[in-house]
Chains A and B, each alone.
Chain A
Amino acid sequence: MNKIAALIVTLIAGGVLFYSTAFFPKWGDPKQPASIHVSPRYIEMTLAETQVPNAVTSVLADYRGYDTMFETSVIFTAGIAVMMLIRRSR
């Protein structure tokens, strides 16, 4: 019963997702919106603005460094969560 309901939901969600892929920009298209709006600056200006040749590092640590701080906090949260939940209190 539960499995049939799950299967139906899965198929509906999958159908919607398949349907929407038809309207995506072509895969690997250099002119797709995701590649021309924000990201060119990261590639073209990374040396001039940060002196770091690796664009992934400069975006990770500088342009969107604030996200990365919370990424570190996420893993810190997980660390103390595991510590608190599982350690026997003495």
Chain B
Amino acid sequence: MVKDLEDVVIRTVSRILVPFIQIYGLYVFVHGHGSPGGGFQGGCIMAASFILLVVAFNLRESKRRLKERTNAIFCALGVFIYAGTGYLSFLYSGNFLDYGQLSNLFPTDPIKARYYGMAMIELGVQITVMAVMVSIFLDLITAGKHEETLEEDGK
């Protein structure tokens, strides 16, 4: 399924590039408040780094950095962070997703609390998007047969 490329140039360059891609993903996420960007875009870029690992190396290399079960938990974790932020405002009898209520929890004023609330939910979006993109990509290229593909790679 996924052929080994065994090319020194490609491998070295991708190995160097991966951390930069991930940092760029984080940059896009962090600067989403002041410039174009945000959780979805950042998550896609992060996912691209893992996809590059699969393309340049093999499935095993990508799995070594991001375990299958961890990835599955990440898929759910992002949505949980998002909805959990929404539930937090119930604690102070606010409406769902009313970030202004977070000022009761953290030492900020209600307007700044909205700023931080948004950062929290963007983080949730980023985690889910990254995990799901990687998961869908791996499922599609191996046609669901992760173990068999791993064994083929091992040969």
- Note whether A and B contact each other (Cβ less than 8 A): yes
A residues with a Cβ closer than 8 A to B are 48-54, 56-58, 60-62, 65-66, 68-69, 71-73, 75-76, 78-80, 82-83, 86-88, 90
Say yes or no: A56 contacts B36, CB within 8 Å: yes
Say yes or no: B38 contacts A50, CB within 8 Å: no
24 A-B interface contacts by CB (under 8 A): A50-B111, A50-B118, A52-B34, A54-B33, A57-B118, A60-B38, A61-B117, A62-B99, A62-B114, A65-B118, A68-B125, A69-B83, A69-B121, A72-B78, A72-B129, A73-B79, A76-B78, A79-B75, A79-B135, A79-B136, A80-B75, A83-B72, A86-B139, A86-B140
Nearest CB on B from A55, distance (A) = 11
Most buried by A among B78, B79, B124: B79
Q: Which of B66-91 contact A (CB under 8 A)?
A: 72, 75-76, 78-79, 82-83, 86
Q: How far is B82's CA from A61's CA once the two chains are assembled, in angstroms?
A: 10
Partner of A82, one of B32, B118, B124, B139: B139
Other than A76-B128, A86-B139, give 20 A-B pairs with Cβ distance below 8 A: A50-B111, A50-B114, A50-B118, A51-B112, A52-B34, A53-B33, A54-B34, A61-B121, A62-B99, A62-B114, A62-B118, A65-B118, A69-B86, A72-B79, A72-B124, A76-B75, A76-B78, A76-B132, A80-B75, A86-B143
